[in-house]
Amino acid sequence: MNLKTLPMLKLQQLTPDEPRLRINADGSLQLGRKDGQVEFAFHYLGLTFEANTRPTASGTVVQVAAEIAPLPFSAEGVATRRAVIAIIDASQVMSEVRLVVSKNRRIYCIGKSALPTHWEPQDVIVAATRLVLEVKPYLGMLQEALPPRPATPQSMTAH
């Protein structure tokens, strides 16, 4: 992604260890990694989603992922655990995004969508937004079904 030339920005103002910002020879600012892939994070519904592009054999895809919460133990309520598992199971019908449980009993939202052959940065944003909006009803049901969790420093900065 190239932005219009920013004359007040000088190369020495960018830290050399920042791989996502570069100044081109014409003075324009380039965002993204040198290999052309894009990484970013955003907050939605109190969750932090991380998104990135990744080349595959069939073309470039955008991936999104967010850690939601631990899977409730039966001791936290058998009905609660069953409801949460039912919501996770129901999300499996979606083709590009779903809720999953890791080996460590953490609930995640993960999704992947193909990008056009000659994609632009706005295509990445549109695809990531579409994925999150597709799973939104399931995230809302999870928020209602999950027991309240104590606030952590991470969750307090995510809002």
Which pLDDT belongs to residue 115?
95
Q: Which residues contact 71 (CB under 8 A, 6 or more apart)?
A: 81, 84, 85, 101, 105, 106, 107
Encode pLDDT of 64-98 as tens digits. Answer: 999 999 999 888 889 999 999 999 999 999 999 99
Task: Please choose, from the candidates 124, 128, 136, the residue with its C-alpha nearest in 3D space to the C-alpha of residue 111.
Answer: 128
Pairing of strands 106-114, 47-56: unpaired
CA distance 49 to 108: 10
- Number of Cβ atoms within 10 Å of the Cβ of 113: 19
Q: Which residues contact 130 (CB under 8 A, 6 or more apart)?
A: 113
CA 73 to chain centre: 26
Domain residue ranges in the chain: 1-34, 37-157
Q: Worst-scoring range by mean pLDDT, 8-17, 92-101, 119-128, 146-155? A: 8-17
Query: What CATH architecture is 37-157?
Result: 2-Layer Sandwich (3.30)
Encode pLDDT of 31-77 as tens digits. Answer: 554 556 888 899 999 999 999 999 999 999 999 999 999 999 888 88
Q: What pTM, to 2 d.p., does this model score?
A: 0.72
